[in-house]
Amino acid sequence: MDRLRVVFLGPLASFSHQAASESFGKKAADLLPHVSFADAFAAVQSQEADYAVIPCENSTNGSVVQTLDLLADRNDQYKDVKVCGEYYLTVHHCLLVHKGSYPSGWSGYDGQITKLYTHPQAWGQCENVLSKYFKGVERQDVSSTSKGAEIVSKEPTEKSAAIASRFAAEYHGVDVLKENIEDRADNTTRFLILRNVLAERTAKYDLEQPEAPTSQEKPVHEDTHKTLVSFSIDHSLPGALANALLIFKKHGLNLTSINTRPSLKRAWQYIFFVECGRTPSDENKDAVVKALTDLRDVTEYCRDLGTWKDQLGANAL
C-alpha cells in the first residue's frame, strides 16, 4: 500500500501535528498541515487524505465548537466522514531559547530574557512560572506556539524565548531551557481521527485505530468501544431528550459525553452529540444498530458518526 496521507490542523509543529505524529509515526505516513478545520474535513471527504487528526475537546477548556459544527454537517458536505479513532495528548509547555544560547541550562539563567513569544492562550496556562521568573517581561502574542519557537530559532540572542512544546523545539531546532512550565499537569486535548467510510485504501487497512498511544499513563482500553451519534429532536414534544437518552441506557450503552450546537434552522433549537461506550460481548454486538433504529423513532434526524476503540477508559455519565 502507498504511504498514508494524514492531514492535521496546521501549522507545522502544532499540537495537532504532534498528535498526528504520535498516532501515525510508526506507520509509513505523510503528515500534511491544513490551515482550517473545514479544509481537513474536505480533504477526507474528497479522499485527497486518508485520515484527519482534529482536536475535539480539552480537559480544561471544554469542547472545540469548530469540530462539532463540522460534524453537524448541516449542508451534507461531509456525509462519508466518520470517526475511526481518538488520541489523547497531554499539553506540556516548555521555555525555548535559541540553540546554544544557554550552555549551562536553566541553572545558569540570570534574568537575561527580555521578550517572550507564544500563542495568547498559553500565557494563562503558565502563570505560575511567568509570575515567578518573568514578571514585567515583554510578551508578544503570535499565531501559534510553534510560530514562537520558529521566531526564536531565527533570533540569535539570549534575550528572547518562546513558550511551546518539546515537539516544536525539536522541529525548529531550538533548546529547551525549562520544561513542563504549565500550571496544570493534567491539561489534555483529545483528538478525533477521521476517515472516509467509502475509501477502499483505508478499508483494507487492518487497524481502525491506526496506532495506540504508548505512554504508560494512558492505558489502551481495547475492550471498550465508543460510538458518536448526532441527532435533533422535535422541540414541541416535552421529554424528547430524556426519551432519547433512555434508549442508550436500554441497550447497555453508557453515555460518556453530551454536547449541543445551534441547529441554525431555527433559533434556540439544537443538534445533540452523544458519545457512548460499551464493552463488546455476544449479547451487545448489535446494540449500536438497535439503538440507532430506536433513536430514529424518537428523533427528527439521527446520524451514526462512527465507532472506535476507547483509548482512555472514559467516565460514564
Using CB under 8 A, list all residues that contact a copy of itself. Answer: 58-63, 65, 186, 188, 233, 235-242, 245-246, 248-249, 254-262, 264, 266-270, 312, 314-317
Q: Based on CB atoms, which residue is closest to a copy of itself, 7 or 55?
A: 55
CA atoms within 13 A on the CB side of 32: 17
**Min dist. Cβ of residue 234 to a copy of itself (A):** 9
**Min dist. Cβ of residue 89 to a copy of itself (A):** 12
**Min dist. Cβ of residue 61 to a copy of itself (A):** 7
Q: Based on CB atoms, which residue is closest to a copy of itself, 41 or 248?
A: 248
Rg (CA), the chain: 22
Q: Based on CB atoms, which residue is closest to a copy of itself, 175 or 310?
A: 310
| DSSP state letters, 15-48 | HHHHHHHHHHTTSSEEEEEESSHHHHHHHHHTTS
Q: Based on CB atoms, which residue is closest to a copy of itself, 44 or 245?
A: 245
For residue 159, which amino acid is it?
Answer: K
Give the Cα separation of 221 and 37 in Å (integer).
28
CA atoms 109, 91, 55, 211: torsion sign: positive
**Min dist. Cβ of residue 106 to a copy of itself (A):** 28
Q: In three state form, how does the secondary structure of 166-185 look?
A: HHHHHHHCCEEEECCCCCCC
Q: Based on CB atoms, which residue is closest to a copy of itself, 165 or 257?
A: 257
Give the Cα separation of 247 and 281 in Å (integer).
19
Determine contact, residues 106/178, Cβ cutoff 8 Å: yes
87-116 in b/e form (b: 16+ CB < 10 A) is: bbbbbebbbbbbeebbeeeeeebeeebebb
Q: Based on CB atoms, which residue is closest to a copy of itself, 24 or 248?
A: 248
Preceding peptide of 11 cis, ω within 30°? yes
**Min dist. Cβ of residue 189 to a copy of itself (A):** 10
**Min dist. Cβ of residue 110 to a copy of itself (A):** 35
